[in-house]
Amino acid sequence: MDLDKALRISASGMQAQTTRLRVIAENLANQDTTGGKPGADPYRRKTVSFDDQVDRATGETLVRVKKIGVDKSAFPQKYEPSHPAADAKGYVSTPNVNSFVEVMDMREAQRSYSANLQVMQVTRGLLTRAIEMLK
Partner 1 sequence: MNPSSVGLLDLAEQRLKWLGARQSVLAANVANADTPGWKSRDVKPFSEVLASSGAVASAPVQTDPNHLHGSVADNSGTKLLAGERAPDGNQVSLDQQLEKIAQTDSDHEAVTALYRRYVGMFKEALGR
Residues forming contacts to partner 1 in the complex (CB under 8 A) are 1-3, 5-7, 9-10, 12-13, 16-17, 20, 49-52, 60-63, 108, 111-112, 115-116, 118-120, 122-123, 125-126, 129-130, 132-133
- Rounded to the nearest whole angstrom, what is the least distance from the CB of residue 74 to partner 1 in the complex? 22
What span, in angstroms and rounded, lies between the C-alpha atoms of 107 and 91? 34
What span, in angstroms and rounded, lies between the C-alpha atoms of 37 and 57? 51
Look at residues 43, 13, 44 and name the one whose alpha carbon lies nearest to residue 109: 13
User: Nearer Cβ to partner 1, position 46 or 83?
Assistant: 46
- Rounded to the nearest whole angstrom, what is the least distance from the CB of residue 134 to partner 1 in the complex? 10
- Rounded to the nearest whole angstrom, what is the least distance from the CB of residue 30 to partner 1 in the complex? 23
- Rounded to the nearest whole angstrom, what is the least distance from the CB of residue 17 to partner 1 in the complex? 8
CB–CB of 24/97 below 8 Å? no
Strand 61-70, strand 46-54: pairing: antiparallel
Q: Which residues sit opposite 3 in a β-bridge?
A: none
Polymer length in residues for the chain: 135
User: Nearer Cβ to partner 1, position 82 or 128?
Assistant: 128
User: Nearer Cβ to partner 1, position 68 or 115?
Assistant: 115
